[in-house]
Structures are given as structure tokens and as C-alpha cells.
Amino acid sequence: MTGSPDVGAAQESSVRATDADTGADDTYAWQRDGVPVPEADELGKLEASKLCPPPDVAPRIVSYRPRRRDPLSVTEGAPVDFSVRATDQDLNDPVTYTWFLDGRRVSQRPGWVFVPPLAATAPTHTVEVRVSDSSGLQAPRLAWRIEVSPRMSDVNVRDWLGRLAGAWERKDIATLRLYGVVTTDAGADALRKRLARSDVSRVSIANETIRTQGQYATVAFDRTELDRRGGVVSSRRESYELEKQPSGFIGLRSPAASAR
């Protein structure tokens, strides 16, 4: 090797030696600046990695719940737990979580509880979570489309019974048709004629049995018609299956009236 190499230029070096006693080739150990060459190569790689660190990548979501996302059916007032867990390639890089309800930020924790409002207020919602690292790189967004079903309560059923009794007392055929108690024109005409001949002035509803499930209810009760003197004109046991619609309106799901 002669002369001085140009700065930055590759330089090839070689040497050959023979053992004078055995005639065999000797072994060699190369050094650069006093450092064994293999170690010097590793040091060079380490320095290069400091100068050119690996590219940053977005966090990765590894789990989330609820698992079902499109659509997610829930009942108004029933809490739903949402959560997500993510990791970042750089363990020292913090991961942040941001939750949105219908585009409005509601939380910045890994988990969030959604309490569905009244279905009459808004029957559908969108829940979204965004996961990002300190440099702003984001994992693919997660979103749930939520459909809120109304929830029938005992109070809803008793309010319905009160309005039903008022409709009978007023001989209000239109309301009875709206509620589904009268379903045909012929039935409405027949009831109108019967009520016109009746001297009923008050209707009593008593001995209610109410069972609710989700947006539905089954109710049974005694309906008693009284005249102006308080005498009993008629009394019968009736039962209905009710349904609460997203608007809050309650009507018959399927009538099952029975007389006693």
C-alpha cells in the first residue's frame, strides 16, 4: 500500500505472510485506528444509525371494544363501555387517545362510557376514537354507528292507560284509532253508534299487571264503565301488547283483548 488515499475514496488493502517453519499461511488481524476492524465496522453502523434513525411509524391498535361496530344497537339509558389499546414502535413515544361523539370531543382516555340519550332526541349516533403519537402520526380511525332503541317503562304504560281511559270517557274514536284499539272503519262506525246510545260518564282502569322488556310492554287491566250515578254499566278484563317508537309515541304492537 503506497501513497495517501483520497478523502472519502475506497482503499483496498492486502497482505500475505508465510510461516518460515511450516510454510503455512499465517492468520491475520486487521485494525483501523487501533480498533479491530469487525468492531470498527459495528461502531460505524452505530454512528450511522444515530445520524439516520429509522423512520417513525404510526401507532398500531391491538384491541378494542365493543367488537361489533356497524350498527351497534343499544337501549336508551343503558351505559355502553368503549375502550381501545394501542402500541407504538418507539416505546418511549407516548400514545394519546381522543374520543368523539357525533364529531364532538368527549374524552382523552383509553376508555369512555356512552350513555344513550332518549331515542326521541336522536335515534342514531357516531362514536369515533383517534389514536396518535407525539409527532401526530395516527393509527387508522375506529368508528361505531349506534342505533338507540327506546325503553319502555312502567310510567310510560300508566300514562298510556290514563290517556286510554280519557279517550273512552270523551268517546274519542280518533284517539282510539290512533292507539290501535279500533283498527277498521267498520269497527269505528259500530263503536261510535254504541257510545252514542251509552250513558257512560266515567271509565275506571284498575288492577293493572305490567311487564316491560326493552321497547315493548304487556299490560292487563280491568276497564269499568260507570254511569252518572256511579253505577256499573260494564266491566271487562283487557290486555294489550304495547310498543314504544323512537319518537316516544306508544301504540299497540298486537292487540290481544279479552273480555270477562
Judgement on whether residues 114 and 163 belong to the same structural domain of the protein: no
Report which of residues 160 and 258 the model is more confident about: 160
Is 36 inside a domain boundary?
no
Q: pLDDT tens across 96-128, in order?
A: 999 999 999 999 999 999 999 988 888 899 999
Q: Say if strands 142-149 and 72-75 run parallel, antiparallel, or are unpaired.
A: parallel
Instruction: Examine the domain organization and report whether 246 and 180 are in the same domain.
Output: yes
- Could you tell me the pTM of the whole model? 0.62
User: Residue 40 corresponds to which amino acid?
Assistant: A
Q: What CATH number corresponds to the domain at position 234?
A: 3.10.450.100
Structural domain includes residue 117: yes
Both 110 and 168 in one domain: the answer is: no
255 pLDDT more than 50 = no
Q: Exposed e or buried b for every residue in 48-80, given b needs 16+ CB within 10 A? A: eeeeeeeeeebbebeebeeeeeeebebebeeeb
Which domain covers residue 121, as residue numbers? Answer: 60-149
- Rg, C-alpha atoms of the chain: 40
List beta partners, residue 220: 209, 239
Q: From CA 199, how far away is CA 134, in angstroms rounded?
A: 79
Residue pLDDT, tens place only, 205-234: 999 999 999 999 999 999 999 988 888 988
Most distant CA pair in the chain, distance: 140
